[in-house]
Every structure is written in C-alpha cells, then in structure tokens.
Amino acid sequence: MPYLILDRDGVINEDSDAFIKCPEEWIPIPGSLEAIARLTERGYRVVVLTNQSGLARGLLDEETLRCIHAKMIAAVEAVGGRIEAIFHCPHGPEDSCECRKPKSGLFRAFAERYSVDLAGIPAIGDSFRDLQAAKAVGASPILVETGKGRRTLAHHPDLDIPVFANLYEAAQHILYCHA
C-alpha cells in the first residue's frame, strides 16, 4: 500500500499564529477529513509529520498534544479514514534540532520506522519549509493554499510543484491523475 505524507496545521486543520494549544482549538479545514477518508479507501496509508514548537514555547505539553491528536484521529475515523502514524518535532526554531522542518529528520524517522523509501511519496504541506523537507528526501512536494499556503505561493511564485486550493483537491488529483 502506498504512503502519503501530510503536514497538520494549515493542511488538515485550521492554522493559528497563536498555535493550536488545546483540542477545542483543533478545527478541521472543510473537506480535509473526507480527503483523508477517500485516500484511505483507495489504499493510501496517511502519515502526519508536524512541527509543534508550541511545546518548546511552553504553550502546551505532550499530554495536551496527545489529546489534540486523539481528537484528530477520531474525527478522521468518524468519516471512514485512518491516520497510520503521527511524528512531531517538539523543538523551537532556535533549538538546532534535526527534526524541525525544513530539516528532514521527521521524514527520516518515518522512513526508518516503516522501512519506506521516500522517493516519490506525495508530501502535502502549506509552508515552504514543508516543501523543502520533502524535496530534501526525494519525496514529491505538493502545496495547498490553505493555512500559510497562499503566503508561501506569494513569496515563492516560481515553485515548480503541484499547487491545489486545499487537501481535498490535492487528494482528488492524487487519486484520479496518478492512480
């Protein structure tokens, strides 16, 4: 079964410059849950790779993050989808870790744990750092215009990658143009 990699904030759920700090602040982007369900139904194994610097900033703790992810998983499952795994970077931008995107540590951790070759795996994100991390490991970056996507496109208008309005449209493209 093929894998598909998603960023979380701005791709699956509404993003917030104030961070998603509790389950109540986690609000799915319209169509995103259904997109994951359709991908799951067609045999894709969906993995989420997400920077969560709110942990390093003291805005939430690991238990709260676990609760946010439990809400996301339950919401996806309620519409027939499945999230195979979630990998997160708990560090802040100044921590010099290897896991915070645009570095590729989250991708490498996923590949190692699941014995996956990342070459060509679709990786959907809304920020330039998502795209950089995907490209660094040979995955196929895709930009969505939700979250920080429009801003990313405005700052990098010459991106030579697929761009879609949202996760649902990106999923439709993957399912019907690359099936």
Q: Catalytic: 158?
A: no
Q: Is 73 helix (H, G, I), strand (E, B) or coil?
A: helix
Beta-carbon contacts of 109 under 8 Å, excluding residues fewer than 6 positions away, are: 87, 99
Tell me which of 9, 15, 126, 130 is the catalytic residue.
Answer: 9
Distance (Å, rounded) from C-alpha 88 to C-alpha 5?
Answer: 13
Q: Return the closest-CA partner of residue 142 out of 108, 111, 166.
A: 166
Cβ pair 50, 7 in contact under 8 A: yes
Neighbours of 107 (CB within 10 A): 25
Mapping DSSP to helix (H, G, I), strand (E, B) and coil, where does residue 44 land? coil
The closest of 13, 71, 10, 12 to 39, measured between CA atoms, is 12
Active-site residue, selected from the candidate residues 7, 15, 126, 130: 7
Q: Cα separations (Å) of 108 from 3, 76, 135, 136?
A: 14, 25, 12, 10
117 is a catalytic site residue: no
Catalytic residues: 7, 9
